[in-house]
Amino acid sequence: MMTFGRTDRSVVSDWWWTVDRWLMVALFVLAGTGAILVMAASPPVADRIGVDTFHFVRRQIVFMIPALMVLVGVSMMSPLWVRRSAVIVFFGAVVLLFATLVMGAEIKGATRWLNVAGFVIQPSEFTKPAMAVVVAWMLSQRQNDPGFPAFPVALALLLLVLTPLLLQPDIGMALVVCAVWFIQMFLAGLPLFIVAGLAVIGMAGAVGAYAFFPHVASRIDRFLDPSSGDSFQVTTSLNAFGHGGLWGTGPGEGVVKQILPDAHADFIFAVAGEEFGLVFALFIVALFAFIVLRGLSRLMRETDLFILLAGTGLFAQVGLQSVINMGVNVSLLPAKGMTLPFISYGGSSTLALALGFGYALALTRARATPAWAGAAPTAARTPLNAVLRGAR
């Protein structure tokens, strides 16, 4: 068992006494839940496409082990190194985002993936957590230097990411990125009339997506009127929850994974509902709620504006992505190919989420970190309630 004395001055000991262990345990439980569900959902999918029965299970383990190592390793970083690493990841991911437009593998009409040494990488997954940190850093600089053009720089970063996302196209990812950016801008003190203007622009963008992207229009039309097109996956997902009932049909006894193409990825929540029942599905919902609310509660006491904005952005991403995935599975939202964080199969998603969760754990550590541990000085001492008043 890991034990450290409070007088121990090692980096690992300092991490152990300052990290939010409840939050870390919840993340490991989430990862374990995902491993169980991938084992339950993926074998029929593998058989259908002609690969080894446990192909996806083995690959998920291959990704999950380094992902958990990344999570723990990154969580030991000081806020200074969180910023530095996020800048490197962000600009590297943006370069790869533009590269997908030139040499990306086209799958289902979109070029979102790069094939590197036999592994398929989705750069946009790594852009999300890194962008939340970089935007937070830019916005927090306004506290140190009132003349710094924080809002224009943040807008330029958003446009830099949106351009390749819309050209791929990946409207769902663009929506999540915009939503997180908007939340961070609001907390940073963006004037309300500009907030209202951005909201109008956002609604106009949604209308434009419906008008100019046929696949978006098709999904929204099928959501509003299931009889207007093929709604097989969503209808099958709903039936799975009904079949599972309160306690489920039992591990391995479900039938939805036999017919759903994305049972191991976008619709793994339906497999959980069928085989383990409503109670287990609600446990997953509660687990995500605990992670997001626990993280935000830690940030409520934060006085460093950078940490507040970056942490809020990271937890908002997890909350939005999980709500979208589960909402699609129960037909509360239009269909969108988005994984359930740390549960769905996916290499890029798993590694990127581990990076984001590691950043979140690093930023929510107790701020009593001594100077020898390399903690960055706080960028600004602005309590959360003062930030919110400034935003209004």
Residue type, 218: S
134: pLDDT strictly greater than 60? yes
Q: Place 229 in a pLDDT band, splitting at 50, 70 and 90.
A: low
Distance of alpha carbon 133 from the chain centroid: 13
Using one digit for the tens of pLDDT, what is the confidence trace for 286-308? 999 999 999 999 998 888 999 99
Mean pLDDT score of the chain, rounded to an integer? Answer: 86
Q: What is the DSSP string of 137-166?
A: HHHHHHHH-TTS-HHHHHHHHHHHHHHHHH
Higher pLDDT among residues 131 and 171, named by residue: 131
| pLDDT for 191 | 83
What's the mean pLDDT in 311-329? 95
Residue bearing tokens 């409520």 = 300
Higher pLDDT among residues 379 and 8, named by residue: 8
Using one digit for the tens of pLDDT, what is the confidence trace for 362-384? 999 986 543 333 444 443 344 45
% the chain with pLDDT above 90: 55
Higher pLDDT among residues 215 and 43, named by residue: 43
Cβ contacts of 390 within 8 Å, gap of 6 or more: 189
390: pLDDT strictly greater than 80? no
Using one digit for the tens of pLDDT, what is the confidence trace for 337-349? 788 999 999 888 9
- CA 369, CA 136: separation in Å to the nearest integer? 21
% the chain with pLDDT above 70: 89
| pLDDT for 7 | 61
Can you give the pTM of this predicted structure?
A: 0.88
197: pLDDT strictly greater than 70? yes
| pLDDT for 38 | 94
Domain residue ranges of the chain, discontinuous segments joined by +: 11-365+378-391
For the CA atoms of the chain, what is the radius of gyration? 21
Q: Roughly how many angstroms between the first and final C-alpha of the chain, as a whole number?
A: 49
- Tokens representing 91 are 């600009």
Q: What is the DSSP string of 12-43?
A: HHHHHHHS-HHHHHHHHHHHHHHHHHHHHHHH
Q: Place 312 in a pLDDT band, splitting at 50, 70 and 90.
A: very high
59: pLDDT strictly greater than 60? yes
Q: Shortest CA distance to 291 belongs to which of 23, 45, 10, 33?
A: 23
Q: Which long-range contacts does 275-282 make (Cβ < 8 Å, 24+ apart)?
A: 275/40, 275/244, 275/248, 275/249, 275/250, 275/251, 276/244, 276/247, 276/248, 276/251, 277/244, 277/245, 277/246, 277/247, 277/248, 278/241, 278/244, 278/245, 278/246, 278/247, 279/246, 279/247, 280/248, 281/241
- For residue 363, the surrounding DSSP H or E stretch is helix 347-363
